[in-house]
A and B are shown apart, each in its own frame.
Chain A
Amino acid sequence: MADFHIAVLGAGPAGLSAAARAAEYDRENAASQPTHVLLEGTAAHANTIQRYQKGKHVMDEPGYLDLRSPMDFEAGTREVILDDWAQGLKAIGVNMRTGATVNRIEGTRGNFTIHLAGGETVTAEHVILSIGTQGNPRRLGVAGDDSAFVQYQLDDPDEYADEDILVVGAGDAAIENALGLTRQNRVTIVNRKNEFSRAKQGNLDGILAAINDPATPLTCRYQSQVKALQLPTAAGQAGSVILDTPDGEETLPCHRIIARLGSIPPRGFLEDCGIALPNASAEALPELDGQYQCNVAGLHVIGALAGYPLIKQAMNQGQDVVDFIHGKAVKPVEHPLLQVKFGLLPYEADVDEVLALYQQRVPMFARMNALAFRELILESDILYAVDGRAAYTGLEKQARTLRAQRLDDIEHSRRNEDRKRHETGMKPKQWRDIEEPALTGILRAGEAVYRHGEYSTTFYTIVEGEVTLKSPGGPETRLQPGQFFGEMSLLSGRPRLGDAVVAPDTILIATPRRTMLKLMAANGEVATGIETVFLQRTLQQCFAPSLSYTALRDIARRVETRHFNRGEVIYEQGDSGDCLYLIRSGTVALTYRENGRSIAVGHPQSGELFGQLALMGDAVRRETARAAVRVEVIAIKRAEFLELLKRSPDSVPALQADTRDQLLHASRMESVPEASDVISFLLGRGLGEATDALVIDENLCVGCDNCEIACAETHNGISRLNRKAGARFAHINLPIACRHCEQPHCMKECPPNAIHRKPSGEVFIDDSCIGCGNCETNCPYDVIRMEYQAPPKPGLLQWLLTGRGHGPGEDAKAQPSKKAKAAGKKAVKCDACKDRKAGPACVQACPTGAAVRLSPADFADLVEDL
């Protein structure tokens, strides 16, 4: 007989909810002893949230999903949430053990043995794994590294004063901690390597400046490692550290050590427990069935480790999984969401049947795990195209009814919940506004789902009907159910090439970029499938517009995709060349070296060719090609190139004309080295990946700062550009302002998916920002700021007449209101005035015409007058 019916590992939101549900069952069954246990490795519940900074606002996204858990949760400060959960744990009677680190799990359903650190074992019939993906912090690996002398996080650097502190690590966390601590302490930072290569630019500049500035109490030990510790004899006393440095051993006295060495992903632990992972990536997540069960029977995985990083989702799974274990066939909480999503489709089938049908119909999705597919559909839109006005208006009417019904349902269930809470004496719940239900999207047949030149990255899969891709000057391609399109923009970040027009009775799954990228990262098969079609269509676009893309399958399999990081050399002047390159994403800088001087002779961008002369008569590379930003290129060798030309001889003249243009441009650049210097400067500052950058001509700029003022006045009092701090070269000033990158770095890892791109290209942050700061960290150009909402200011006339208050522009000394402080800082950045008819305010408000927005395609015009 096992110790427990259910053991829950990890007291994060998912684990808390699961354990609370199990405790409810115990109470219902009037169990004399708890039949569940919640094991937590650290000292308290919700360790990740405990580690947030004080007062941090925690959001309850996604808004469309209801909470289904015995534990309460709604958006609020870290403290309120932690306190609610602590009370919930007590009130529900959860049997929690803290400080119980699990080393390994053995066995199968009915007979699990959980090995704890320290040798103790716990047995259970079912195990729920909810340990998240953060992993444990990497330790120093010397004796004493678990003592209070060493800490692996730092909440508030100002908590310490007048201490000698050693920071170990060279990543962003280590640098930020070290710089924060120097305000009141003497800091030594220990770096295993001889440079801070992993840090983002801002932190790199900061740490190097601090190391070089004798006034900052910070020193650095490069190529050094901690060899041993001498612990302090009493609390408050200094201990010391023995370092292994290039000059031998060094003993440094210090009061504490902050080790920021990253964390160990839980992969190793999962494998030790016998859990199969689908690929070799360190971040791979286990594959699960509809009841969150992995390949080990009786072992359930929920929360972030199951691929659901949001708190509410994780808590819902916690309750559901315990219900499953207790044999209850509950419908997941998102069931009604899918019902309205499929509501207007011409089927008489249940949600699960439609899901099964769609998964079967699309070969790429057929072998996906059912849970992952369900999630994919939940995050996607279903689009249905109908022919004729009557059918369309009929569907519109049906949509209105469906929407009203859904809103009624939600209100009804809220009233029920309120009544229940009132009867049981619980405090009433603060409901948020009901979100607009996501119904089936209706299209008119013949309408384009996207048009040529639009910036959108949605990926479309056809489940019924037909879609025609019409590219300008190219052939029309008809796609059938099971096929997909839209992968070109998804993978390259470039605007759409051509229109995609839907036929009558077509049903599409429209999947947003983020969901698709997540799927591709988790599922190698899907990634390869999309990649191959992408290559075929790219080759077709560039070399064989008159052929069908399917005819290029064999060639697509023989070309090679290569990645180059910023600054890496693709080929060197004087090399002999055997291939040409087609740029998938990014910009390449071509430079020609003569008499020790290097001249920029071109900057081909995504979708363009370079190096083709090697296959067109001149085998020696006449210039050096270097990645101006992170670049992905398709390398095409001679045999494939000749075959492409042979199959599509009519594309030769266009290719020759392009090459002639490139040569002309290069020769002009060689003759005007000043122009080439300006272009090198712009590329050096990352403008190669810009689509819409603010560039100021200093020969016209009178320094009035009206651009910044206009920005602040049109963007809630906070300017999103900094003119003075801009980099300058010749007469060009590159202010610190968003460039709306081809593949926006900021859009990576935005938890609430608050960053979007308009079809016209503007990248912007919506109101759902939770202030996590990921985008600020990810932006290499420091154009995103975290700011409180600015307090309101007097109107222009009031200021002009009375002189009271701050005039137009950002008030740097403004104090945020209480409400703004409670809401926390949010990310702000340039949105290129996407909603202003007159275009960007900075450009419109420049009195002298010095401010202009441009993209790399305009560089030639920019240097025209030099």
Chain B
Amino acid sequence: MYQGILGHGGRRYAWWAAFLIVTSFAVYWTQAASEPPSGGTWQGYGLGGLGVLLILWLSWLGIRKRSYRRASGTLRGWVSAHVYLGLTLPVIATLHCAFQFGLNIHTLAYALMMAVILSGAYGLYVYLRFPNRLVANREDQSRDDLLAELDSLDQTALDAAGQCDDGVYGAVCSALEMSTVGGSFMDQLLARDRSRARLPERGLVDNAQQRAVIDHLVERIPDTSRGGEAENLRALLRVFGRRAELLKRLRRELSLELRLKLWLVFHVPLTFALLAALIAHVVAVFFYW
């Protein structure tokens, strides 16, 4: 019923890509020994022209993706072709330049192209792997449900802490207030936990995974003297255990979602840089060579 990017249309575009690669090699090998392979032979121009057309067509996906009124083909088909045909470019471009590299605009264009393809390959990996991880991380709970559960846990914690002494109450309130999700870019990307808490006698401490407040509660439980206090502390322990888990999931979800989008920040600008370098390369070849 569902068909992914790679499996689209019975892997039609994988066959296209294979055909392109085989043809490129065939063309490459037809270059005579008298005139060693280079971008300057007719074969070199042919492969180069094919490469340019492919790059322009691959870049066109940005427009096609936003052409919502187009009546033909699915976007999935385009993406599938984009992936398979994009992966043929390293072969075509390398054969085009016949392994000649140097410190010049031409190799810059080549390097940018490889960077675009590598970022795209990472993007493909992310698209194929992360959705499953998001599903597993979500445990059948939508984000709204998760936030609602967190809210209710916070309320339960406040109610229970209200019945305990000031030390516990302060610790719990500070832990609730200073639990963080997100934060700086790196914090979000790496799902870092910068939560803190203010504990009696110890002051401001790191409360990653709610560990500090949980440890504090665990230490306090055997020490209780007032009736009902142990019960409240046990309740708090349960709440913080669950909170730690939910916050962890939330951070992981944000991190995964960020990484699902982040690669495009490289892929798209690099594409523009590639297009610029490509124009320079073509102009240089035709006018100054």
Q: Are A726 and B142 in contact (CB under 8 A)?
A: yes
Q: What are the interface flags for B131-158 relative to A under an 8 Å C-beta threshold, 1 for contact and 0 otherwise?
A: 1101100101111100000000001000
Known: A838-B70, A847-B65. A730 touches B1 (CB 8 A): no
Q: Are A841 and B141 in contact (CB under 8 A)?
A: no
Enumerate chain A residues within 8 angstroms of B68, measured Cβ to Cβ. 709-710, 713-714, 808, 841, 845
Taking the closest CB of chain B, its distance from the CB of A263, in whole angstroms, is: 36
Q: Are A699 and B71 in contact (CB under 8 A)?
A: no
Closest to B133 in A: A699
Taking the closest CB of chain A, its distance from the CB of B82, in whole angstroms, is: 9
Task: Give the CA-CA distance A129 to B1 in the complex, in Å.
Answer: 60
Closest to A836 in B: B71
Q: Are A697 and B69 in contact (CB under 8 A)?
A: no
Total contacts A-B at CB 8 Å: 97
Taking the closest CB of chain A, its distance from the CB of B263, in whole angstroms, is: 11
Q: Are A850 and B2 in contact (CB under 8 A)?
A: yes
Task: Give the CA-CA distance A249 to B65 in the complex, in Å.
Answer: 66
Task: Give the CA-CA distance A724 to B142 in the complex, in Å.
Answer: 8
Enumerate chain B residues within 8 angstroms of A706, measured Cβ to Cβ. 65, 75
Q: Are A854 and B140 in contact (CB under 8 A)?
A: no
Contact of B75 among A698, A726, A731, A846 (CB under 8 A): A846
Task: Give the CA-CA distance A700 to B72 in the complex, in Å.
Answer: 22
Task: Give the CA-CA distance A706 to B65 in the complex, in Å.
Answer: 8
With an 8 A cutoff between CB atoms, is A848 at the interface?
A: yes
Q: Are A861 and B1 in contact (CB under 8 A)?
A: yes
Closest to A727 in B: B142
Stretch at the interface among B3-11, B191-199, B220-228: B3-11
With an 8 A cutoff between CB atoms, is B92 at the interface?
A: no
Known: A729-B140, A838-B72, A845-B68. A858 touches B1 (CB 8 A): yes
Contact of A697 among B2, B76, B141 (CB under 8 A): B2
Enumerate chain A residues within 8 angstroms of B8, measured Cβ to Cβ. 849
Q: Are A838 and B71 in contact (CB under 8 A)?
A: yes
Q: Are B66 and A808 in contact (CB under 8 A)?
A: yes
Task: Give the CA-CA distance A731 to B140 in the complex, in Å.
Answer: 8
Enumerate chain A residues within 8 angstroms of B66, measured Cβ to Cβ. 796, 808
With an 8 A cutoff between CB atoms, is B184 at the interface?
A: no
With an 8 A cutoff between CB atoms, is B206 at the interface?
A: no
Task: Give the CA-CA distance A730 to B138 in the complex, in Å.
Answer: 9
Q: What are the interface flags for B50-81 relative to A under an 8 Å C-beta threshold, 1 for contact and 0 otherwise?
A: 00000000000001011111111111101100
Q: Are B135 and A849 in contact (CB under 8 A)?
A: no
Chain A 783-842 residues near chain B, CB threshold 8 A: 796, 808, 836-838, 841
Taking the closest CB of chain B, its distance from the CB of A213, in whole angstroms, is: 9
Q: Are A849 and B260 in contact (CB under 8 A)?
A: no
Q: Are B4 and A848 in contact (CB under 8 A)?
A: yes
Task: Give the CA-CA distance A702 to B66 in the complex, in Å.
Answer: 17
Q: Are A702 and B260 in contact (CB under 8 A)?
A: yes
Enumerate chain A residues within 8 angstroms of B74, measured Cβ to Cβ. 838, 843-844, 846, 849
Enumerate chain A residues within 8 angstroms of B65, measured Cβ to Cβ. 706, 845, 847
Enumerate chain B residues within 8 angstroms of A864, measured Cβ to Cβ. 1
Task: Give the CA-CA distance A710 to B144 in the complex, in Å.
Answer: 24
Taking the closest CB of chain A, its distance from the CB of B259, in whole angstroms, is: 11
Enumerate chain A residues within 8 angstroms of B70, measured Cβ to Cβ. 838
With an 8 A cutoff between CB atoms, is A118 at the interface?
A: no
Q: Are B130 and A846 in contact (CB under 8 A)?
A: no
Taking the closest CB of chain A, its distance from the CB of B8, in whole angstroms, is: 7
Taking the closest CB of chain B, its distance from the CB of A720, in whole angstroms, is: 14
Task: Give the CA-CA distance A22 to B3 in the complex, in Å.
Answer: 72
Enumerate chain A residues within 8 angstroms of B144, measured Cβ to Cβ. 725
Contact of B135 among A714, A724, A725, A731 (CB under 8 A): A731
With an 8 A cutoff between CB atoms, is A701 at the interface?
A: yes
Enumerate chain B residues within 8 angstroms of A852, measured Cβ to Cβ. 1-2
Taking the closest CB of chain A, its distance from the CB of B56, in whole angstroms, is: 16
Q: Are A796 and B260 in contact (CB under 8 A)?
A: no
With an 8 A cutoff between CB atoms, is A862 at the interface?
A: yes
Contact of A702 among B67, B71, B130, B140 (CB under 8 A): B130
With an 8 A cutoff between CB atoms, is A728 at the interface?
A: yes
Q: Are B132 and A214 in contact (CB under 8 A)?
A: no
Q: What are the interface flags for A720-741 relative to B under an 8 Å C-beta threshold, 1 for contact and 0 otherwise?
A: 0000111111110000000000
Q: Are B132 and A847 in contact (CB under 8 A)?
A: no
With an 8 A cutoff between CB atoms, is B25 at the interface?
A: no
Q: Are A848 and B76 in contact (CB under 8 A)?
A: yes
Contact of B2 among A729, A837, A849 (CB under 8 A): A849
Q: What are the interface flags for B258-275 relative to A under an 8 Å C-beta threshold, 1 for contact and 0 otherwise?
A: 001000000000000000
With an 8 A cutoff between CB atoms, is A425 at the interface?
A: no
Closest to B72 in A: A838
Task: Give the CA-CA distance A39 to B76 in the complex, in Å.
Answer: 67
Q: Are A700 and B131 in contact (CB under 8 A)?
A: yes
With an 8 A cutoff between CB atoms, is B257 at the interface?
A: yes
Task: Give the CA-CA distance A727 to B140 in the complex, in Å.
Answer: 9
Closest to A697 in B: B2
Taking the closest CB of chain B, its distance from the CB of A737, in whole angstroms, is: 15
With an 8 A cutoff between CB atoms, is A703 at the interface?
A: yes
With an 8 A cutoff between CB atoms, is B99 at the interface?
A: no
Task: Give the CA-CA distance A843 to B75 in the complex, in Å.
Answer: 9
Contact of A796 among B67, B72, B135 (CB under 8 A): B67
Taking the closest CB of chain A, its distance from the CB of B26, in whole angstroms, is: 33
Enumerate chain B residues within 8 angstroms of A709, measured Cβ to Cβ. 68
With an 8 A cutoff between CB atoms, is B45 at the interface?
A: no
Known: A838-B71, A844-B75. A700 touches B257 (CB 8 A): no
Taking the closest CB of chain A, its distance from the CB of B217, in whole angstroms, is: 24
Known: A703-B257, A845-B75, A848-B127. A725 touches B142 (CB 8 A): yes
Task: Give the CA-CA distance A846 to B2 in the complex, in Å.
Answer: 12
Known: A846-B75, A847-B76. A699 touches B135 (CB 8 A): yes
Q: Are B5 and A849 in contact (CB under 8 A)?
A: yes
Q: Are B142 and A847 in contact (CB under 8 A)?
A: no
Taking the closest CB of chain B, its distance from the CB of A586, in whole angstroms, is: 24
Closest to A701 in B: B131
Known: A730-B140, A847-B79. A700 touches B135 (CB 8 A): no
Task: Give the CA-CA distance A712 to B200 in the complex, in Å.
Answer: 54
Taking the closest CB of chain B, its distance from the CB of A424, in whole angstroms, is: 52
Task: Give the CA-CA distance A624 to B77 in the complex, in Å.
Answer: 44
Q: Are B132 and A699 in contact (CB under 8 A)?
A: yes
Q: What are the interface flags for A530-573 relative to B under an 8 Å C-beta threshold, 1 for contact and 0 otherwise?
A: 00000000000000000000000000000000000000000000
Q: Are A846 and B69 in contact (CB under 8 A)?
A: no
Enumerate chain A residues within 8 angstroms of B3, measured Cβ to Cβ. 849
Task: Give the CA-CA distance A350 to B134 in the complex, in Å.
Answer: 72
Closest to B140 in A: A729
Q: Are A849 and B142 in contact (CB under 8 A)?
A: no
Closest to B62 in A: A800
Q: Are A730 and B69 in contact (CB under 8 A)?
A: no
Taking the closest CB of chain B, its distance from the CB of A82, in whole angstroms, is: 43
Taking the closest CB of chain A, its distance from the CB of B2, in whole angstroms, is: 5
Enumerate chain A residues within 8 angstroms of B134, measured Cβ to Cβ. 698, 703
Enumerate chain B residues within 8 angstroms of A850, measured Cβ to Cβ. 2, 131
Task: Give the CA-CA distance A850 to B4 in the complex, in Å.
Answer: 7
Closest to B127 in A: A702
Contact of A730 among B67, B135, B143 (CB under 8 A): B135
Closest to A696 in B: B2
Closest to A838 in B: B71
Enumerate chain B residues within 8 angstroms of A702, measured Cβ to Cβ. 126-127, 130-131, 260
Task: Give the CA-CA distance A71 to B57 in the complex, in Å.
Answer: 66
Enumerate chain A residues within 8 angstroms of B69, measured Cβ to Cβ. 713-714
**CB pairs A–B below 8 angstroms (14 shown):** A697-B2, A699-B131, A700-B2, A700-B4, A702-B130, A727-B142, A728-B141, A729-B140, A731-B132, A731-B135, A796-B63, A844-B73, A846-B75, A848-B127
B-binding residues in A (CB < 8 A): 214, 697-703, 706, 709-710, 713-714, 724-731, 796, 808, 836-838, 841, 843-850, 852, 854, 858, 861-862, 864-865
Contacts A702-B260, A848-B5, A848-B131 given; 11 further ones with Cβ under 8 A? Answer: A697-B2, A698-B134, A699-B131, A701-B131, A702-B126, A702-B131, A709-B68, A714-B69, A727-B142, A730-B135, A865-B1
**Smallest CB-CB A-B distances: 5 pairs:** A713-B68, A849-B76, A710-B68, A838-B71, A697-B2
